[in-house]
């Protein structure tokens, strides 16, 4: 006999809680915003930041509208052309100096989601604005297990001098719960996995982890009985969805364990103890984090997240793509053709990682479409040309269909100087948050629907 499930149904076991993907047997849920009701598929919001600007000649299309020709960099996501909008002309005024001198890199991150101009200090008296992800989470975030997730490929710092007198708190955090409260990001995919599939308390999670390590078990072994009971009562389509989802969870679990070249048992289960650190290769590290993001959205564990590829002003080299010079150093290209070529290669490397996520989201059915159809995800930087350190005409993508609210497949050119916060205000309203202004917004961004 088929059953009706709550959207919050989970599989439970010893110290383990495995949320489920959207199944046909589930009822729509309701946001806490009093006047807003969801469809059967909630909208997800995401923000992805890349440092040091872009090589803009390889980024910005020459044509406007749906018939634009993709540039050399944007061609990396050509398969998703109909799922993205390229937005030109948006500006981040809060990242400008306004009399404070140097520090454009730190300001570009601190202002990227807040629209605010951070106080210039490398001491304890930091001050910034509230970021759009947190402002939205404060209103609608308690509809999910995690009101928001803050992720990245590098750790956050809360003190120190990182950029011309600006605290490292500005340079390494773009999510801010309050003016003095940056939200540290998690960069270890194993830690994110444990958060998504751990118990209700840290004590339960530690106990389950100890049992898995002791008996070399998968996290799914603890919920096997619960999964079998549920499986028997689901319609055929939902059984297939559940089987595919559980397979993907176990596959990611294996890959996390394998990141440090751990062996496997004969049953194909990770041979714990769990490794320390993160994958050495940035591409593998990034892909595992994108897997975590897809799982977080798919299971409705959160609908709001932010992701920093690296911290502001990063001088990381990219030997994986044969770029041996530091990223920040290359961004100060002084019109050097060789340096601009290196910057463009790094831009494409980052966009390839984002393409991996878009592909994952498009492969997950949800409702009448895909998971990507129910997302609105911003990708870009708070600096345009890294050599000029300008904060206007930013490189910004908006990916996903926003639950039918976004008409994608276009290059939309706004008047240069249009606040980036106009986009954020529009996104907040689509999420059901009550807002008529955010940061330096002047109105919700138009021409998206």
Domain assignment present for 176: yes
Residues 98 and 60 in one domain: yes
Residues 49 and 163 in one domain: yes
Residues 330 and 404 in one domain: yes
Provide the mean pLDDT of the chain. Answer: 88
User: pLDDT value at position 240?
Assistant: 86
Domain assignment present for 292: no
- 160 has a pLDDT exceeding 50: yes
User: 131 with 176: CB under 8 angstroms?
Assistant: yes
Residues 173 and 195 in one domain: no
User: pLDDT value at position 248?
Assistant: 86
- 225 or 417, greater pLDDT: 417
Pairing mode of beta strands 149-152, 304-308: parallel
Residues 312 and 176 in one domain: yes
| pLDDT digit string, tens, across residues 113-130 | 999 999 999 999 999 999
Select from 277, 300, 335 the last residue of a domain. Answer: 277
User: pLDDT value at position 9?
Assistant: 83
| pLDDT digit string, tens, across residues 369-420 | 999 999 999 999 999 999 999 999 999 999 999 999 999 999 999 999 999 9
Tokens of 388: 């000029």
- Full DSSP string of 90-147: EE-GGGS-TT--S-HHHHHHHHHTT-------SSS-------HHHHHHHHHGGGSSSS
Domain assignment present for 409: yes
Residues 201 and 102 in one domain: no
Residues 52 and 180 in one domain: yes
Domain assignment present for 155: yes
User: pLDDT value at position 139?
Assistant: 97
Residue 271's domain comprises: 1-30+189-277
Domain assignment present for 438: no
The total of structural domains in the chain comes to 2
**Residue percentage of the chain with pLDDT more than 90:** 69
User: pLDDT value at position 35?
Assistant: 36
Residues 70 and 204 in one domain: no
Select from 254, 277, 300 the last residue of a domain. Answer: 277
Residues 11 and 143 in one domain: no
Residues 169 and 107 in one domain: yes
Alpha-carbon dihedral of residues 296, 301, 302, 306, nearest 10 degrees? -30
Look at 179-183, 234-238, 378-382 and tell me which has the smallest mean pLDDT.
234-238
Q: pTM for the whole thing?
A: 0.87
Residues 25 and 84 in one domain: no
| pLDDT digit string, tens, across residues 280-332 | 899 999 999 999 999 999 999 999 999 999 999 999 999 999 999 999 999 99
Within a 10 A sphere around the Cβ of 82, how many other Cβ atoms? 10
Domain assignment present for 288: no
Query: For residue 183, is the peptide bond before it cis, meaning its omega torsion is within 30 degrees of 0?
Result: no
Domain assignment present for 303: no
Domain assignment present for 263: yes
User: pLDDT value at position 276?
Assistant: 42
Within a 10 A sphere around the Cβ of 12, how many other Cβ atoms? 15
Residues 87 and 198 in one domain: no
């Amino acid at each position: 006999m088929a059953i009706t499930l709550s959207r919050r149904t989970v599989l439970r076991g010893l110290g383990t809680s495995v949320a489920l993907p959207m199944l046909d047997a589930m009822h729509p849920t309701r946001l806490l915003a009093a006047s807003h009701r969801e469809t059967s598929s909630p909208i997800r919001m995401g923000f992805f930041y890349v440092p040091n600007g872009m090589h803009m000649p390889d980024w910005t299309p020459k044509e406007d509208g749906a018939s634009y020709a993709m540039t050399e960099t944007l061609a990396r996501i050509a398969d998703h052309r109909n799922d993205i909008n390229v937005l030109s002309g948006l500006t981040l005024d809060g990242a400008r100096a306004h009399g404070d001198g140097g520090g454009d890199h730190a300001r570009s991150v601190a202002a990227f989601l807040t629209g605010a101009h951070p106080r210039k200090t490398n001491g304890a008296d930091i001050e910034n604005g509230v970021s759009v992800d947190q402002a939205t989470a404060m209103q609608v975030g308690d509809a999910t297990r995690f009101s928001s997730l803050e992720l990245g490929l590098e750790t956050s710092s809360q003190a120190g001098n990182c950029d011309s007198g600006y605290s490292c708190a500005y340079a390494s955090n773009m999510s801010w719960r309050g003016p003095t409260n940056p939200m540290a990001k998690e960069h270890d995919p194993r830690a994110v996995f444990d958060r998504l599939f751990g118990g209700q308390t840290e004590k339960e999670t530690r106990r389950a982890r100890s049992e898995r390590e002791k008996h070399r078990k998968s996290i799914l072994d603890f919920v096997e009985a619960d999964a079998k009971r549920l499986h028997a009562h689901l319609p055929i389509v939902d059984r297939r969805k559940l089987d595919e989802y559980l397979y993907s969870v176990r596959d990611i679990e294996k890959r996390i364990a394998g990141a440090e070249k751990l062996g496997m048992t004969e049953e194909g289960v990770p041979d714990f103890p769990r490794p320390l650190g993160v994958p050495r290769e940035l591409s593998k590290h990034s892909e595992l984090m994108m897997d975590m993001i897809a799982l977080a959205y798919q299971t409705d564990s959160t609908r709001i997240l932010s992701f920093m590829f690296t911290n502001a002003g990063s001088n990381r080299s990219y030997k994986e793509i044969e770029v041996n010079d530091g990223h920040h150093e290359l961004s100060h290209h002084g019109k050097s053709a060789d340096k601009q070529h290196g910057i463009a290669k790094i831009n494409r490397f980052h966009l390839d990682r984002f393409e991996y996520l878009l592909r994952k989201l498009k492969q997950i059915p949800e409702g009448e479409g895909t998971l990507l159809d129910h997302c609105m995800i911003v990708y870009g930087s708070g600096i345009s040309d890294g050599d000029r350190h300008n904060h206007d005409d930013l490189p910004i993508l908006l990916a996903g269909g926003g639950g039918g609210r976004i008409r994608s497949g276009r290059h939309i050119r706004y008047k240069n100087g249009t606040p980036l916060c106009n986009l954020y205000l529009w996104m907040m309203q689509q999420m059901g948050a009550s807002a008529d202004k955010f940061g330096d917004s002047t109105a919700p961004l138009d021409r998206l629907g």
